[in-house]
Structure 1
Amino acid sequence: MTEPDLNLLIALNALLAQQSVAGAARRLGLSASAMSRTLGRLRAVTGDPLLVRAGRNMVLTPYAEEIRERTQKAVFVARSVLRPPSSALNLSTLERTFTLRANDGFVVALGASLIAAAAKAAPLVRLCFVPKPEKAPGALREGLVDLEIGVLGNMGPEIRLQALFRDRFVGVVRKGHTLEKAPEITAEFYAAQGHVVASRRGDKTGPVDEALADLGLQRNIVARVPSFPAALAVAQASDLVALLPASFLINQPVDEKNGSPATLWSFELPVKTREITVSQMWHPRSEVDPAHRWLRKLVLSVCREKTLAINEK
């Protein structure tokens, strides 16, 4: 009996995860034609079409759906056998790219420090930050990312979790804004200002709006933008008030006279909002991987050092 080509298992996993010949080809660094030929071989071996055309897209057959999770687990087990855990991790020779999924706010606030710390300890390691369009465990389960960083969502019971730091929202305006000159920022005065809101989903309300509503107040929202960097840019160039995580201001240029951002003025909100806990999340298969454990410790160390002042408040 001829032994099956186990290389096909890697290709099968990519095809089932991407549900696209082109996507699987990009994931494995192959040409689309090479991946198409591999799909033909897989169809011959399994006796099933696996991927079929549905309009402009490809969809999995019932058999492909049935074997998807088993295929993924088989690939993970095979990789762990070929790359067993070792207690002797040599960071000077460790050559690996780690993919971290995080929003723009985290990358702006802590990305540079994390990259520098990783390069100093392990010069051949590369960090690849990818966008985080939603809170979902799929990327971790499929091995597309090594770490998910952000506020815990519905990630599933198997995903490992470690809190990195506590954050809170603050108000931010340009230097010289009316709010900076006010003797006291009341909830009424704050709500009456023009506001720019950051929301990638276009949400119309948030915790601050709920707290203001309890007082019978409503923010005067003039504009909505898709990210915190965009909200900050608008606030810097206008009279609008931005609502940002305090950690987002860590790397802003500082005025040496008062220690505040040179072109911005931040203030505590006149209403109480709940704290935010930013965490790192990973799949259990990476739990004992020495390189992954080193990465998690590095992320924790950098985050806690850089956000020490925030956590002490």
Structure 2
Amino acid sequence: MELQDVDLNLLVVFHELLRRRRVSAVAQALGMSQPAVSNALNRLRRLLGDELFLRTAKGMIPTPLAERLASPIGESLDAIHHTLNASAGFEPAASQRAFTVAMTDIGEIYFLPALMQKLGEVAPGVTLSTVRNQGDTLQGEMESGRVDLAIGFLPDLQSGFFQRRLFRQRYVCLFRQGHPLEAGGITLAAFRAAEHVSIVAEGTGHGMVDQAIQRAGVARHVRLRVPHFVAVGHILQTTDLIAVVPEAYAQRTLAPFGLQTAPCPVRIPDIAIHVLWHAKNHREPGNQWLRQLVVETFAR
């Protein structure tokens, strides 16, 4: 097969299908109709003699050949894109770019309301997608360019990444208003006796909470373990359970769920929340603009 036999636009559609896994999402991202995306995929199937993507209930799943082609095609398209735009700036007011940002459910609760409001003011055509910032896969996703930025507490992202600190925060105890512990406060004895919700938050740095409590020699009565923070407010609202959570998350839950906070009687190190990006995007104008917007909006 010769390069003149290949329409570059077909590879762009292929690359977006790998990222988004749905024809409708690719059509929206590329400004095409869904039939046009399907037609491009059919042309590429005939050209390569492979189905490339199989339809499932969870979206389009790549075949083994598509998975082998993913990295070299993605790298080639990135190289072409960066070369063509090397001298171009980024105009947020006119841009239709789609960015992908990795963050936890806490990040979505804390950052997205203000960030989306800001985007509406200065870049109304820019769209944002979020993905979970689990350390075991995030590094590869950012190296490949599928994720533009990561925001959160991510101590495992080191080599090949730049970072800018947004703020530091402490951990606090979170519980409902009218809780039996409200009057006397959460002493160490009360903390030991209380029933707890433990948040695993696998793939982030928040697992160090359990480690810090164990190192302090404090045995908690963990009544419930959950994999993420998103349901914690609902759970605490109607029970006498308590949870140890980052203060930024706690502040977003107080009014909606009728909760309150108290200092944690166990010493847990403060954490730093960063915005991180891969070295390959360090000088890319759009990435520079987005991370500066994040810093201006949230750094303190």
Whether the TM-score (by the shorter chain) exceeds 0.5 is yes
Equivalent residue letter for 1:95: Q
Equivalent residue letter for 1:38: R
Residue 111 (structure 1) aligns with:
112
CA distance in 1, matches of 2:26, 2:203: 35
Structure 1 runs of 4+ aligned residues shifted over 6 Å read: none
Alignment of 1:26-41 (within 5 A): 28-29=26-27, 30=34, 33-34=38-39, 36-41=41-46
Count of matched residue positions in the alignment of Structure 1 and Structure 2 = 283
Shift of 1:155: 4.0
Alignment of 1:86-105 (within 5 A): 86-87=88-89, 89-105=90-106
Equivalent residue letter for 1:40: R
Residue 311 (structure 1) aligns with:
none
Which of residues 150, 174, 183 in structure 2 aligns to 1:181?
Answer: 183
The alignment status of 1:270 with 2:268, answered yes or no, reads no
Which of residues 291, 294, 297 in structure 2 aligns to 1:299?
Answer: 294
Contact kept in structure 1, 2:186 and 2:265, CA below 8 Å: yes
CA distance in 2, matches of 1:130, 1:12: 21
Q: 1:123 to 1:213 in 2, by over 3 A?
A: closer
Residue 30 (structure 2) aligns with:
none
Q: 1:232 to 1:109 in 2, by over 3 A?
A: same
Q: 1:213 to 1:288 in 2, by over 3 A?
A: closer
CA distance in 2, matches of 1:234, 1:50: 46
Equivalent residue letter for 2:187: T
Shift of 1:253: 5.7
Contact kept in structure 1, 2:234 and 2:257, CA below 8 Å: no
- 3-state SS, counterpart of residue 4 of structure 2: coil
CA distance in 1, matches of 2:91, 2:15: 30
Provide the alpha-carbon RMSD of the alignment.
3.5
Q: 1:188 to 1:206 in 2, by over 3 A?
A: farther
Contact kept in structure 1, 2:169 and 2:272, CA below 8 Å: yes
Q: Deviations over 1:72-116 (max 9, x none)?
A: 2210121123334435x5443333332222111112122211222
Which of residues 50, 60, 65 in structure 1 aligns to 2:64?
Answer: 60
- 3-state SS, counterpart of residue 137 of structure 1: helix
Q: Deviations over 1:187-225 (max 9, x none)?
A: 23202101112235599x944443443454311111123
Residue 126 (structure 2) aligns with:
126
CA distance in 2, matches of 1:140, 1:39: 27
Unmatched segments (≥5 aa) in structure 2: 28-33, 55-60
The alignment status of 1:43 with 2:41, answered yes or no, reads no
Unmatched segments (≥5 aa) in structure 1: 255-260, 306-313
Residue 171 (structure 2) aligns with:
169
Residue 228 (structure 2) aligns with:
227
CA distance in 2, matches of 1:139, 1:250: 31
Shift of 1:185: 3.2
Residue 23 (structure 1) aligns with:
21
Q: Deviations over 1:244-295 (max 9, x none)?
A: 11011334566xxxxxx99322111111112222222223343223332121
Contact kept in structure 2, 1:109 and 1:247, CA below 8 Å: yes
Which of residues 271, 275, 279 in structure 1 aligns to 2:274?
Answer: 279
Shift of 1:26: 5.4
CA distance in 1, matches of 2:217, 2:3: 75
Contact kept in structure 1, 2:175 and 2:236, CA below 8 Å: yes
Contact kept in structure 1, 2:98 and 2:129, CA below 8 Å: no
The alignment status of 1:190 with 2:191, answered yes or no, reads yes
Shift of 1:12: 4.9
Contact kept in structure 2, 1:101 and 1:149, CA below 8 Å: yes
Contact kept in structure 1, 2:200 and 2:226, CA below 8 Å: yes
Residue 82 (structure 1) aligns with:
84
| Percent of residue pairs bearing the same amino acid type | 25
- 3-state SS, counterpart of residue 179 of structure 1: coil
